[in-house]
Amino acid sequence: MIRIGTVGTHWITQQLVEALALSQQYELAAVYSRHDQTAQAFAAKNHAQASYTDYATMLNDANLDVVYLASPNSLHFQQALAAIRHDISVIVEKPAVSNQGEMTALMAELAKHPHVRLLEAARNVHTPNFHALEKAVAALPTVQGATLTYMKYSSRYDNVLAGERPNVFTKEFSGGALQDLGVYPIYLAVALFGQPANVAYFPTLVATGADGKGIAILRYGDFDVTVNFGKTSNAYAWSEIYGLKETLALDSAGELTQVKAYAADGTAADLTQPDLPNPMLPEVTDFARLLQDPDDAQNAADYRRWLRWSQQVNQVLYDLRVSANLYFPADEN
Ligand SMILES: NC(=O)c1ccc[n+]([C@@H]2O[C@H](COP(=O)([O-])OP(=O)(O)OC[C@H]3O[C@@H](n4cnc5c(N)ncnc54)[C@H](OP(=O)(O)O)[C@@H]3O)[C@@H](O)[C@H]2O)c1
């Protein structure tokens, strides 16, 4: 069993813990919260072995194989760095870091700790539907572009409208639409088509100064991908990938719960895979096989691919922000 500790006690950590239980490959060794009462309540609810209010003490004392970081984005870097220095692998929520400087520093630390793995929790690219889509893209005679959409109204936008500054909508916490829901369609583009040659971002800012929604253009050698994402409105449009006469369609670039392939004659085949009991189950299952058998050739190849995606996505996110003159306090370090 893989001994895991968690950071953050919001709903995403609860969903992760439930996925871990379904996978039957992890034991919840420790939970961390800034507040004792929250730590103890989360630990009791999920039958964790221990709870901590000091992150360094958890890393020192809990005998962890891996830590899961679901803190605000700007905290990921220091928490990941500390875990790697303790020879503990890291599953970090997306986006893994705030900028490429932080990614470079993590890569340098990883080189000093060859047994440690850094895994970004980009759930959509671990799903059976993603694998079906990947296969269908490879079968297209050519790719002429894509439009990828993921936009969901965030309850925290109500707080922004009420004059508050929730973490996810602030630059101080490396938040905003691009860093949040925008990560998923960008992951999809990078995983399917590689790193774009040029990018441009056209954000719509909200009262906090962060981006609430936006449109990103990713320019590849001979086609473009248009990405439409946000947290201040809802989108119901399908995403599409254009072949020649063929088109692939997905219900949502973030949720990826339905995939269809339209043939040259316009007939549609449903490529959708069976429903998941928990959207995080595929990634925790993938990560478990890697952590348990890192030297297996397939696992090692998958890790190289995931780490490359992580680096490329974070470069794209940074380049998009630079194109829009959108900087974070974390960029100053
Ligand atoms: N994969 C997905 O589907 C998914 C979904 C949602 C979020 N996420 C990612 O998960 C991460 C957390 O997102 P979230 O919306 O849960 O963030 P959040 O609510 O702002 O904070 C998450 C946790 O961090 C701690 N925290 C909050 N404010 C803090 C502060 N000022 N300083 C230190 N710790 C603080 C809190 O835990 P304690 O009070 O217990 O310390 C909180 O439960 C982000 O990276 C986000 O992108 C992923």
Cα angle for residues 156, 162, 163 (degrees, 5° grid) = 100
Domains of the chain by residue range = 2-121, 125-275
The torsion region of residue 264 among left (phi > 0), alpha (psi -120 to 50) and beta comes to alpha
pLDDT at residue 82, as a whole number = 98
Give residue 7 CA to ligand 1 midpoint distance, Å.
8
Read off the pLDDT of residues 10-45 as tens digits, 9 standing for 90 and up.
999 999 999 999 999 999 999 999 999 999 999 999
Mean pLDDT to the nearest integer, 200-217: 98
Q: What percent of the chain has pLDDT over 70?
A: 100
pLDDT at residue 333, as a whole number = 78
Strand arrangement of the beta sheet that strand 145-151 belongs to: 198-205, 211-219, 224-230, 145-151, 239-242, 247-250, 259-262, 268-270
Read off the pLDDT of residues 226-238 as tens digits, 9 standing for 90 and up.
999 999 999 999 9
Read off the pLDDT of residues 308-324 as tens digits, 9 standing for 90 and up.
999 999 999 999 999 99
Nearest-CA residue for atom 24 of ligand 1: 71
Question: Strands 118-121, 145-151: parallel, antiparallel or unpaired by DSSP?
Answer: unpaired
Read off the pLDDT of residues 56-107 as tens digits, 9 standing for 90 and up.
999 999 999 999 999 999 999 999 999 999 999 999 999 999 999 999 999 9
**Residue 153 confidence (pLDDT) above 90:** yes
Give residue 206 CA to ligand 1 midpoint distance, Å.
20
| CATH 3.40.50.620, applies to 2-121 | no
Band of residue 160 on the pLDDT scale cut at 50, 70, 90: very high
**Backbone torsions φ then ψ of 157, nearest 5 degrees:** -70, -25
Give residue 170 CA to ligand 1 midpoint distance, Å.
13
Give residue 289 CA to ligand 1 midpoint distance, Å.
26
Query: Which residues does a 6 A CB cutoff place in the pocket of ligand 1?
Result: 8-10, 12, 33-35, 38, 70-73, 75, 93-94, 121, 123, 167-168, 180
Which CATH number applies to 125-275? 3.30.360.10
Mean pLDDT to the nearest integer, 185-211: 98
Mutate to test the pocket of ligand 1, among 6, 16, 33, 71 (most ligand atoms within 8 A of CB): 71
* Nearest atom, ligand 1, residue 92 CA: 45
Per the structure block, which two tokens stand in for 259?
A: 């995939």
* Nearest atom, ligand 1, residue 76 CA: 45
**Backbone torsions φ then ψ of 101, nearest 5 degrees:** -60, -45
